[in-house]
Amino acid sequence: MTQPTTLSLFDNPKAIAAAVIISIVGNAVFIGMPMLVGSLAETLGFDEQQLGWLASADLIGIFIASIATSLLVNRCNRQTLAIIGTIVAIIANYSSTIFHDFDTLFAIRIISGLGGGICYSVGVASLAGTHKTARNFSILLFALVAVNAIELYTFPSISDAWGVNGIFIFFCCAFIATLFFIPWLPKKSDVNDTTATDKSAYYNAKIPKWIPWLCLVAVACVYINVGAFWAFIERLGADSSLSDDFIANTLAIGTLFTLSGCAIATWMGNKFGQSKPLIGAFVLMTSILCLLMLEVTPIKYVIAATIFNFSWLFIDVFQLGTLGNIDHTGRYAALVPAAQGFTQSLSPAAAGYILTNNYGYDGVMMLCAVGTISAMLIYMVVYKHLRKIAPEIADAS
């Protein structure tokens, strides 16, 4: 197949940088969710069920915004969409510093998620429009990990000094800074770039549409695990009598180990293809969740947090790579935030229900394991069919 000889507007380095920045800031609340949940508990005194719903509120907004943006992103000015999302997020996060009763704050956090979700989806859709999608998604995930570590390390200090309002103001400042990068985004898709369309026609002739949709279902299953685990990992440490400083440092340092995940995932993908490393990562992730069903000690907490973060990034690289190999237009990759947001919005509330009904963190880890195992089984089906109908891409790097 002929390789592209011209670059699209989205391949401009400034456009890639803007898409990465907008995606990171749009997803900033979820990245810092453990510390945000902890600060909400300590500053405002919400119980586990309320914390679960508040964690879900932002994710509900991200899900709704992702669906809407996926329908609008190729029809509307992308800069305008990003500006709207940014302004909505700024207003919502500032309003969160004023209204602290549960019902009002829950509604405001949904609106905050709408703003952030628009930004996140516009950024991911723009990266999906590049020719080197795997490389650019790896850059995004690498940057997400770095910002993750910064938030986990700084948020406890911010919370100690200014309470949860300080964290909300941090989000406001991040979205304000984003406004300076939005002009770097292309306003529209490059209508002269037909390479992706030609590739898509080639693969669509061989691959039934249910396969990429099944991959998106698997993404949603993975984020049952991620949403519940990430929302309550800080609370799990506190419930196990670990100090706040130990928890914050463990989560921050643990995320730093995932910075090597992109490089290792790229190396393993080139050497072994997509399927074997991805299935192996699911097995490793499930083992860590089972470890946390036992008594949580400091060493187990460190091991689990570190390997979980590494596996999370590793799995995401291969999920995006699989979708990229199946569909080169990127329209399915643009729906990844919606797939993530759907179960991200439900799983923290489900975890809160489990804790409120005294099933403990063992029950939460069981919920996470169900999501991970389900995703693994789905990908086993996907790769089995790909090897039959399109062996040249079944284990492409």
Query: 164 Cβ partners below 8 Å, 6+ apart?
Result: 36, 39, 40, 43, 44
Q: What is the pLDDT of residues 105-143, one digit of tens each?
A: 999 999 999 999 999 989 988 887 777 776 787 788 888
Q: What is the pLDDT of residues 129-181, one digit of tens each?
A: 777 776 787 788 888 877 877 887 788 889 889 999 999 999 999 999 999 99
Q: What is the pLDDT of residues 4-46, one digit of tens each?
A: 445 678 888 999 999 999 999 998 887 788 788 888 888 898 8
CA 61 to chain centre: 14
Residue 274 φ/ψ, nearest 5 degrees: -85, -40
Residue 31, CA atoms < 13 Å, CB-side half-sphere: 30
From residue 53, alpha-carbon distances to 36, 91, 239, 325, 354 in Å are 13, 21, 19, 36, 12
Question: Does pTM surpass 0.95?
Answer: no
Q: What gap in Å lies between CA 252 and CA 230, rounded to an integer?
A: 13
The domains located in the chain, with CATH, are 15-394 (1.20.1250.20)
pLDDT for 85 beyond 60: yes
pLDDT of residue 175: 96
